[in-house]
Amino acid sequence: MNTPPRECSIGEEGDDDVMMKYSAAALVLAALASPIGPLRAQAPAAESRSVWDGVYTEDQAKRGETIYLKECAACHGAMLTGGESAPPLTGGPFLANWNGLTMGDLFDRIRKTMPQTNPGRLTRQQDADILAFMLSINKFPAGKTELYRQSEMLKEIRFESAKPAPKK
């Protein structure tokens, strides 16, 4: 049902891991697409992380804010509330659209399609910084390590809109 998205613009920066990324994406998506039921149950319990586990730093989010205001705010709004031609990047519908997926899915979406007038123009680091800023605005906690800038690594971080119950 879900076909893996094509990595169309990433190769431009001379990445040598396009094929690897492609197959990683395929595996993860295949896993996501196959069964029915709560997706988070499928993630390995031991080492899996979610956006609630401090997956970016405050400094990174600050960098991301500067880039966001320059590159994204004209359409998505300075407050991330979206506009007539761009969806909101905060609030209910945004959280609902990505709930149960991974940061890698969100990262890939930005890599492939944004900024709209020239997709793929930003570096992976810049895109990761923007993602960190989006996480901070959506009140996911900051941590001690920066958000990865590789899709296949980001796919290990689950996007969960609701705060999980405290671990026993």
Residue 62, CA distances (Å) to 81, 101, 125, 142 in order:
19, 25, 13, 11
Tell me if 113 contacts another protein by CB under 8 A.
yes
Q: How far is CA 131 from the centre of its chain?
A: 6
Backbone angles phi, psi at 102, to 5 degrees: -125, 165
Between 48 and 116, CB nearer to another protein: 116
167 binds another protein (CB under 8 A): no
Do 89 and 134 touch, CB atoms closer than 8 A? Answer: yes
Please give the size of the binding site for another protein, defined by CB under 8 A. 65
Does 105 sit near another protein (CB under 8 A)? yes
User: 9 vs 150, which CB is nearer to another protein?
Assistant: 9
* 97 is a contact residue toward another protein (CB under 8 A): yes
* Residue 14 interacting with another protein (CB under 8 A): no
| 164 alpha carbon, distance to own chain's centre | 19
Q: Nearer Cβ to another protein, position 53 or 58?
A: 58
